[in-house]
Copies of this chain bind each other. A is one copy, B any other.
Amino acid sequence: MAKVFSIRVNTDAEGMYDITREVKNYVRSSGVKDGIIVLQTLHTTCALTINENADPDVKSDILKDLGRKFPKEPYFDHFEGNSDAHVKTSIIGPSLSLIIDDGKVLLGTWQSIYLMEFDGPRAREVKMKIMEDK
């Protein structure tokens, strides 16, 4: 088993990309019963979050709202023109720590894990590290 596992996500544009299945599969395949898992992006214009997995309107509402509240601003100086994406990345955050209990990543009924893309299309990587409680 690789000591650090990588999820690749090819994004189209701004969006919330569900990576729950990949995280669950990795935890299952590790055989670890108790511990934690740390997820981390290697980028500066996408982030990681947990939110609702049932009504897809939740995802589009979140993206719409962050887009309206943190648009591209005339006072931005960064030459690439994507400072709005950098702002949203720091607001949502680059890493998540989740609990592994009884061989499964602990998630509520309505929780899924998402990569939030603020600046696609891009090829993104999420790294995962399991720490076992022996």
**Which residues of chain A have a CB within 8 Å of any CB of chain B?**
3-4, 34-36, 38, 40-44, 49-52, 55, 57-58, 60-62, 64-66, 68-70, 73, 75-80, 83-84, 86-87, 89-101, 106-111, 116, 125, 127, 129, 131-133
| A interface majority secondary structure | mixed
Partner of A65, one of B49, B87, B95: B87
> This chain: how many copies in the complex?
3
> A38 — which chain B residues lie within 8 A by C-beta?
36, 97-99
Distance of A35 from chain B, by nearest CB (Å): 7
> A49 — which chain B residues lie within 8 A by C-beta?
90, 93-94
Interchain CA distance A61-B99 in the complex, whole Å: 32
A78 touches B58 (CB 8 A): yes
> A106 — which chain B residues lie within 8 A by C-beta?
4, 40, 42, 127
Distance of A21 from chain B, by nearest CB (Å): 18
Interchain CA distance A97-B106 in the complex, whole Å: 15
Distance of A98 from chain B, by nearest CB (Å): 6
